[in-house]
Structure 1
Amino acid sequence: MIGKPMIGTSLFQPPFKANATLQDEARFVKIIHGSTNLYVPDHHLSLSSGDMFIMKCDNFVNIWDENEDASKSQVFVANLSPEFLKEIYDDDIPSVFHQKESKDHKAILRIDPNNAIELFISSMLFYFENKEMMTEELLKLKMRELIMILLNSDQDGSIKLMLKSLFQTKEYDFKEVIHAHLYEDLSIQDLAFFTGLSLSTFKRKFKTVFKTSPNQYIKTKRLMKAENLLRVTDQRISDIAYDCGFNDIGYFSKLFKSEYNISPSDFRKSLTV
């Protein structure tokens, strides 16, 4: 087999953050235990134990939450690449993988719960515990089995569409990336990573596009949203802070008071006077 394993499990201790770039590579993932926020340049998914998804070529930021019982998180991963497909199918790759011009497809596709996939993963966990039984030919058969299960469970054509464009990289507009993550707890470095630019180049381009610095623009937009939510909702201030991309309620209150000369709680009280 080619250097990197086709299929396996990973056990790790959260909280954990990973930035990854998949080039000419895709993955099927099942979260066995744990929860994460998985970000791509134009959106993100909140995922937890039992969730399954496909990741195609793109940039990803994966932020794993600490488990309540301090246990380790675990994932099942099947890697796919053009080289792996040639090995799996002995160069007779199914037509579904032939790259064609197609509509842009999101970089992550959540897979609905599926008994056939659950049974497949259970069988693979058995082989992982009994490695002497896993031959190269059996591994090829199991990978073909997984792909066939995915295709047979495709109710709306979304999996087939994903597989057609599995190794195609989507082009993103710079503003699209920024606006997709304005209110999420991502760093400037993460946003630069999504655009494929170095941090210094990202900051220069940001200043050209938005006429201000990334920190100033994002802070202003988040506080504007918070101010509006304080006006029109009865959400708790801590929830508003979180919804606007602030994980630290004290830091949010400090910024809000600096911008509006009043604390968030006093601002809300003033609306009822």
Structure 2
Amino acid sequence: MVVDYKKIDLFGKQFLQRVVIEPPFDFAFPTAEQACFLYMRNGEMQFQFQDAHTDIPANHALLLNCIHPGKQIKDINNSDGEIVIVTFHPDILKKIYEKELPVIFQKNSQISNQSNSRVNNDFLIQKYIEGLLFYFENPSMVNDEILILKLKEIILLLSQTSNASTIQVILSQLFSPTTYTIKHIVEANLFSQINVEELAERTNLSLSSFKREFKKLYNDSPASYIKNKKLERAAELLIISNERITDIAFDCGFNDLANFTKSFHDKFGHTPTDYRIKMRD
């Protein structure tokens, strides 16, 4: 239940919201061409999409692109909560950045459909939210110039967080709404050092849904298929290149040489060194 609600508009559109809630609370996001930054100032919420969920504790935030239906937040600890929401509208962003959009809204090289990400506690973002509270309590002091500065400020802060590359993927969808197939995403990330959970996030599916769809495509589990592809690539490089075995292991997505050596021996019956000598002879 909503106990208190305040909002501030920018150019006639909802920009800032402060919502105080008490349990039970459940809110479904409508499909819209916008992105939202939700900061959990007090309490704890759970974000749900399909059959996956993410817990957002106090002083943490969630960034999501709202173009996909079926997303909702709900309380999980039966205590009062306070959420501050900043909304990104594509037309407003184009208006305030007349010459060129910031890099964080431009598509990068990462092949991903990910549309939401938790933003961990950050001191500067926390201070930014505290600054917004002043304007909710003093709406007469708000004007468009101040709001434009606050919008640019949160964009700058998000671009400097530890997961800025993921944030860029999410925000760039506002202007480059490309959707990749699961196969495209899997093949593009075969030799990177990301785990199956992160790969599922990039497909914008829950882990269970990703594994189910993967099985349909490849008739194998993600872990098994990806490991075999990495080992096959390593075997090729051992024959055609003079790279050190450590470098080959790293290039193929292994970050532990002992694990690589054991896995390689299990598959090919030889250590990487012996395999290189045998195949070259």
Identify whether the pair has TM-score above 0.5, normalized to the shorter chain. Answer: yes
Q: Counterparts of 1:115-264 in structure 2 under 5 Å? A: 115-154=123-162, 157-166=165-174, 168=177, 170=179, 179-180=208-209
CA shift at 1:3, angstroms? 3.3
Shift of 1:35: 2.1
Structure 1: gaps (5+ residues): 182-208, 210-273
Structure-2 change in CA distance of 1:177 and 1:147 (3 Å): closer
1:8 Cα offset (Å): 2.2
What's 1:4 paired with? 13
The whole-number CA distance in structure 2 between the counterparts of 1:155 and 1:66 is 25
User: C-alpha offsets along residues 197-239 of structure 1, whole Å, 9 cap, x if unaligned?
Assistant: xxxxxxxxxxxx9xxxxxxxxxxxxxxxxxxxxxxxxxxxxxx
1:64–1:111: structure 2 CA closer, same or farther, 3 Å change rule?
A: same
Long gaps (5+) in structure 2: 1-9, 183-204, 211-215, 217-281
Q: Which amino acid aligns with 2:82?
A: Q
User: What is the match of residue 119 of structure 2?
Assistant: 111
1:33 aligns with 2:42: yes
Task: Output the CA distance in 1 between the equivalents of 2:168 and 2:17.
Answer: 23
* Distance apart, 1:91 and its partner CA: 5.8
C-alpha change, 1:15 and 1:140, in structure 2 (3 Å) is: same
Q: State the superposition RMSD in angstroms.
A: 3.1
Deviates more, 1:51-60 or 1:1-10: 1-10
Q: How many residues align?
A: 179
| Compared CA separation, residues 42 and 2, structure 1 to 2 (3 A) | farther
1:83 CA displacement: 1.2
The question of 1:78 aligning with 2:86 is answered yes
What one-letter code is carried by the residue in structure 1 that aligns with 2:69?
Answer: N
**Pair 164,50 (structure 1): closer, same or farther in 2 beyond 3 Å:** same
Deviation at 1:18, TM superposition (A): 2.1
Structure 2 counterparts to residues 50-65 of structure 1, below 5 A: 50-56=59-65, 57-65=67-75
CA offset at residue 88 of structure 1? 3.0
Contact 2:45 2:73 (C-alpha < 8 Å) held by counterparts: yes
* Matches of 1:19 and 1:126, distance apart in 2: 28
User: In 1, distance between residues paired with 2:85 and 2:180?
Assistant: 26
**Contact map agreement 1:24 1:81 (CA 8 A) in 2:** yes
Correspondence 1:98 to 2:81: no
Residue 63 to residue 98, structure 1, CA distance change in 2 (3 Å): closer
Deviation at 1:47, TM superposition (A): 1.8
Residue 34 of structure 2 corresponds to residue 22 of structure 1: no
Q: Distance in 2 between matches of 1:132 and 1:144?
A: 21
In the other structure, the counterpart of 1:46 is 55
| Contact preservation (8 Å) 1:40, 1:58 | no
Give the C-alpha shift of residue 179 in structure 1. 4.6
- Scaled by the length of structure 2, what TM-score is found? 0.54
